[in-house]
Structure formats: C-alpha cells, structure tokens
Structure 1
C-alpha cells in the first residue's frame, strides 16, 4: 500500500497486512505521518514542555501538575 505523509508529502510503502495499513484503508479520516516527521514533532513538543510555557487545554490544572 502506498501512503503519503500529510506533513512532508513523502511517499512510503506499507505492507498490506499491517494494522496501520488496515486502519488507513478502512477509516479514511485517519492520516499517515512518516517516522521522521513523527520524531521531529515529538522532540519539539518535549522541548516546549520543558520550557514551562506549555499548557494542555484538554485537561485540568491538577492533571497538568501531575504530568510535569
């Protein structure tokens, strides 16, 4: 299965029997993100969390304190 990263437009190939390929095939709302973009976003998010100016808006303040 050919998939395209939604951020960098890189085209990758996935095996047809992988769970990710089945999820993308059966649920069109799900999107694919390549591993390099996923790692880059994770690193940037971790750096923003460490600055202390990052706030999770979907959680309560008590949950944010437990996370940090």
Structure 2
C-alpha cells in the first residue's frame, strides 16, 4: 500500500498486513506520518516541555503535575 506523509509529502510503501495499513484503510480520516517526521515532532515536543512553558491541553491536572 502506498502512503504519503502529511508533513513532508514523502511517498512510502506499507505492508498490507500491518496495523497502520489496516487503520488507514478502515478509517481514511487517519493520516500517515513518516518515521522521520514523527521523531522530529517528538524531539521538539520534549524540548518545549523542558522549557517549562509547555501547557497540556485535554489532560487531567494529575498528569500535568507528574511532568
């Protein structure tokens, strides 16, 4: 199955039997991000959390206190 990253528009091939491929077939609203973009977003989120100016929206206050 061919997929396209929503951020960098890179085309990749996914195995038809993976859970991600099944999720994209059954629910087209779900989007695909390549590993490089996923890692970049995770790294930058960790950097923002480290600054102390990052606010968690849609979470409970107990989870925020743990960070």
The question of a shared fold, defined as TM-score above 0.5 by the shorter chain, is answered with: yes
Q: How does 1:42-61 map to 2 (within 5 A)?
A: 42-61=42-61
Q: SS of the residue aligned with 2:3?
A: strand
RMSD of aligned C-alpha atoms?
A: 1.0
Q: SS of the residue aligned with 1:23?
A: helix
TM-score for both structures, normalised by structure 2:
0.93
TM-score for both structures, normalised by structure 1:
0.91
Larger mean Cα displacement after TM superposition, 35-44 or 20-29: 20-29
1:8 corresponds in structure 2 to 8
Structure 1: distance between partners of 2:50 and 2:37: 20
Contiguous gaps of at least 5 residues in structure 1: none
Residue 65 of structure 1: how far off its partner (Å): 1.2
2:17 corresponds in structure 1 to 17
* 1:38 counterpart = 2:38: yes
Q: SS of the residue aligned with 2:31?
A: coil
Displacement over 6 Å in runs of 4+? none
